[in-house]
Structure formats: structure tokens, C-alpha cells
């Protein structure tokens, strides 16, 4: 294993219990182990509850306004770290941030912003650097400035070359993306997407998928994961247990997949299962999708409606299937909790609490 990979995996081990998410999006990450903050601080003092919880937060920095505005009204891109936000990261022991295209103007600015973020984290005194994450899938989901980074055609184009070229392009794309992101100070990539796109009406995955063949998706997802992690990048597969057969975008509503357990195992779970076993991804992102065959338990929404729990909030799916059945030992990351698949049915505090229920 390369030295930089060992370093980044060490960071992951020390922060095994991280959650991500606030200032617009909330992402929650859970792990098998106790808080990495406790591990890092064992020789000093026992971390406070505030410190442990702070390490479980990743801020969405897409926009920032100095003065309070109505929710959703701030549209000022954050491109440098303001003192008030630096103080917040330090004071509350924040564990990570996620960056979007609005934050990223050119390489020099990106490096400077990430240095400012890591300096704020260093002032916490925990010895734990920030997770700095991004959705850099290639194709239509790419956050780096396209004129100043390498652009790729996306996963479905890679899938279309599989019969002739195998995993060659998945490996090459993963390697290049990881090198570029790490050179900018970004250490977490929420990619690749390993959803099996078997629904031609899918409004959100479609060309983000490697294809409709579960085995092909598994082989290409594994290859891209290995390529990125060999460079030292922390990789997050998505969207567990599968977003490939939906006709609803979970950004806009809560999809439901009525596959049988057998079909879920044979189609939806197969790329996750094989990549977990063979490539050990650092993270896996959950889906705000109902899978009644895996969990038919219900919850009461903020409007009082009784609904089947989505995978993001399901202990049966995330512990029973992902942890116990598939033996995943990395970080479980929720998709953003401000997406309509969650926010239409929960307040933000409710959603965060329910991810731990």
C-alpha cells in the first residue's frame, strides 16, 4: 500500500464514527467502531459529548451569507472561508465538509480554501484533519471546473466499452480523478455510482450507472474503487441498497422499489456485495428509498402520515443487510437529508436522530 494511502486510511480509522452534514445539506455517517476522536484523544482527556457530535458533522458549504436570511434564500457561493465559519468549525469540532461547483473556481482558489478549512480543523486540537468531500463521478455529475480539470463521458459511456475494453477505462478514469482531487486537497469522493439502471424511466441515475447488467456494474465499480483508493482517495459507493429501478428522483420525493428479496440480492445488492468483498470501499452512501421487502416497518411523518421507512433510516437495512449480511466495516453515509425524500417527511433534527435509531 502506498504511503499516502496508509496515511488516509489511518485518518479514516481515527474518525470511524463520523457523520456529515449541515448548512443546507445534512449527511450522516455511522460506523461499527467508537468515535475516532476518542481514539485520538485517549492519551489526553476523554472527549466531551460536544466534541464527539461535532466530529459527526459535515457542513454543506455551497452558499454562505454573513447575515441571517430565510431558509433557502442565501445564494452567495462560498469561495473562501469567512472568520465566523472558521470559528464554528474550530469551536464545534466539525468533522468534515462537502464542496460543490459553486465553491470551486480554479485550482489555486480551491487549494487555498481547503488549506483554510484544514487550518480551522487543526485549531480544534484533536489532531484529526477534516474529511473534505465532493461528488466527482464524471459525466454529468462533476463539480470541478470543467475548463481546468479532466472531463470524462461518465459511467454509462464506460459501460458501453466494457465488451471490448473490460475495466480499462474505469481504472484509468478512477486513477486520474483521484490524483486531481487529492492534488487540490479533497480526500473523499462520493463515487462511483454502482446502481444497476434497469428502469429506462429513471430520472436521476440513468447515465450515471455503468449499465443494466449487475455483474458488469460490479466489475466496473470495483475497478474504479480500487483505482481511486490506490491513489489514497477515500471512496463512497452509492446509493445503497440501490437506486437503479426508480421512476422518482429522491431529490424530489421518496421512491419505492418493490423488488423481491431474491431480485434485490441478484440485482441491486450484487455490485455492493462484490465491491465490499473485493475492494473494501471506505464508505457507502444510503438511498432515501423504501424497500418493503427488506423493511416494511413504518414511521409517522411530520404531518402524521404513516409511511414505510426509507433505507436511510432503516436499521434492518443498514445493520441487518449492510453490516451483518454483507459484512461492511467502513463508514455508512446518508445522502443529503435536505433532499425531498427525507425533508418532506421529517424536520432536520428528526431526520438526524432517526438515522441513529
DSSP conformational letter for 318: I
Annotated catalytic, 335?
Answer: yes
**CA atoms of 209 and 152, how far apart (whole Å):** 14
Which residue in this structure is represented by grid cell 465491491? 275
At which residue does the C-alpha cell 470524462 appear?
Answer: 152
Q: Which residue has the cell 433510516?
A: 313
Which residues make Cβ contacts (< 8 Å) with residue 72, sequence separation at least 6? none
Does the N-terminal peptide bond of residue 241 adopt cis geometry, omega within 30 degrees of 0?
Answer: yes
Greatest CA span in the chain, whole angstroms?
57
Is residue 86 within 8 A of residue 130, CB to CB? The reply is no
E strand or H helix that includes residue 133 = strand 131-134
Q: Quick check: 257 and 268 in contact, CB under 8 A?
A: yes
In whole angstroms, how far apart are CA 136 and each of 24, 189, 280, 339?
A: 19, 6, 19, 19
- What distance in Å separates the CA atoms of residue 244 and residue 67, rounded to the nearest whole number? 41
Q: How far apart are CA 335 and CA 62, in angstroms?
A: 16
Instruction: Please list the residues that pair with 26 across neighbouring strands.
Output: 21
Which residues are CB-neighbours of 115 under 8 A, at least 6 positions away? 185
Distance from C-alpha of 157 to C-alpha of 64, rounded to nearest angstrom: 36
**Contact (CB, 8 A) for 14 and 40:** yes
Per the structure block, which three cell numbers stand in for 170?
474505469
Query: Contact 197/209 with Cβ under 8 angstroms?
Result: yes
Cell numbers for 95: 468533522
Single out the catalytic residue among 60, 135, 195, 335. 335
Residues tagged active-site: 335
Amino acid at each position: 500500500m502506498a504511503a499516502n494511502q496508509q496515511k488516509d486510511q489511518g485518518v479514516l480509522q481515527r474518525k470511524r464514527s463520523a457523520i456529515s452534514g449541515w448548512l443546507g445539506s445534512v449527511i450522516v455517517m455511522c460506523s461499527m467502531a467508537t468515535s475516532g476522536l476518542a481514539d485520538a484523544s485517549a492519551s489526553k482527556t476523554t472527549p466531551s459529548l460536544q466534541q464527539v457530535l461535532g466530529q459527526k458533522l459535515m457542513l454543506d458549504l455551497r452558499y454562505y451569507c454573513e447575515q441571517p436570511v430565510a431558509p433557502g434564500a442565501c445564494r452567495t457561493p462560498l469561495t473562501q472561508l469567512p472568520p465566523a465559519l472558521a470559528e464554528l468549525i474550530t469551536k464545534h469540532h466539525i468533522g468534515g465538509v462537502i464542496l460543490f461547483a459553486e465553491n470551486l473556481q480554479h485550482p489555486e482558489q480551491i487549494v487555498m480554501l481547503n488549506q483554510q478549512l484544514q487550518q480551522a480543523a487543526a485549531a480544534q486540537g484533536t489532531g484529526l484533519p477534516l474529511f473534505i468531500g465532493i461528488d466527482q463521478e464524471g459525466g454529468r455529475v462533476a463539480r470541478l471546473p470543467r475548463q481546468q480539470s479532466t472531463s470524462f463521458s461518465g459511467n454509462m459511456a464506460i459501460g458501453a466499452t466494457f465488451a471490448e475494453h473490460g475495466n480499462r477505462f474505469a481504472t484509468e478514469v478512477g486513477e486520474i480523478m483521484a490524483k486531481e482531487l487529492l492534488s487540490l486537497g479533497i480526500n473523499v469522493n462520493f463515487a462511483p455510482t454502482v446502481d444497476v439502471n434497469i428502469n429506462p424511466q429513471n430520472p436521476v441515475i440513468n447515465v450515471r450507472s455503468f449499465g443494466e447488467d449487475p455483474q458488469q456494474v460490479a466489475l466496473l465499480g470495483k475497478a474504479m474503487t480500487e483505482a481511486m483508493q490506490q491513489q489514497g482517495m477515500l471512496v463512497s459507493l452509492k446509493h445503497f441498497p440501490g437506486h437503479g429501478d426508480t421512476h422518482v428522483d429522491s431529490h424530489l420525493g421518496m421512491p419505492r422499489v418493490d423488488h423481491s428479496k431474491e431480485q434485490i440480492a441478484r440485482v441491486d445488492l450484487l455490485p455492493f456485495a462484490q465491491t465490499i468483498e473485493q475492494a473494501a470501499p471506505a464508505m457507502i452512501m444510503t438511498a432515501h428509498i423504501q424497500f418493503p421487502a427488506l423493511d416494511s416497518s413504518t414511521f409517522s411523518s411530520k404531518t402524521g402520515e404513516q409511511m414505510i421507512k426509507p433505507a436511510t433510516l432503516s436499521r434492518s437495512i443498514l445493520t441487518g443487510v449492510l453490516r451483518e449480511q454483507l459484512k461492511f466495516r467502513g463508514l455508512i453515509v446518508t445522502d443529503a437529508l435536505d433532499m425531498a425524500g427525507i425533508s418532506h417527511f421529517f424536520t432536520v433534527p428528526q431526520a438526524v436522530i432517526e438515522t441513529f435509531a
